[in-house]
Amino acid sequence: MGRTVRAALLQTDWTGDKGTMIDKHEAQAREAAKQGAQVMCFQELFYGPYFCQVQEPEYYSYTEPIPDGPTTKRFQALAKELGIVLVLPMYEIVQAGLYYNTAAIIDADGKYLGKYRKQHIPQVKGFWEKYYFTPGTGGYPVFDTAVAKLEFTFVTTGTFLKAGVLSV
């Protein structure tokens, strides 16, 4: 029989700004680790609202480089401190005009393991994602973390079928 891995998933309400969203997720990661979680996954685009119902250039300001951006670095330190694997879905910038819906995978020692970029980007009413995101081309990588091998995908309900959200 395989061993048990305790996972925490967080989906929460929008606080109104990026800074307090990041603080809120850090607090929840601390609580999850305190309760024995070994891996934690945050919601899609975790530090902002899901803005794809509209097509407004102001939301490009939510982009960050991965892994060298401030949010990835902050949560690398947190993962190391808590000894927990973190999955951070964020809005990635590679260069002006090249943006991805990306999940950064951070190991329990704080090491950045890599990323998954959402591949199937919907463009239907209420999901104007192609306005914001470039489709990823990196396949479905498996990350060998301290607690288990993890595969991560974003689920686009009603548009594309997916194998799973988080496979442990």
Mean pLDDT value across residues 62-90: 98
Whether residue 161 is predicted with pLDDT greater than 70 in this model: the reply is no
Residue 92 has a pLDDT of 98
Residue 151 has a pLDDT of 86
Domains of the chain: 7-167 (3.60.110.10)
Q: What is the pTM of this model?
A: 0.91
Spatial separation of the C-alpha atoms in residues 99 and 119, rounded to whole Å: 12
Residue 156 has a pLDDT of 55
Mean pLDDT value across residues 76-96: 97
Question: Residue 159: which pLDDT band, with cuts at 50, 70 and 90?
Answer: very low
β-sheet bridge partners, residue 120: none
- Please write the tens of the pLDDT for every residue from 52-73: 999 999 999 999 999 999 999 9
DSSP assigned state of 46: T
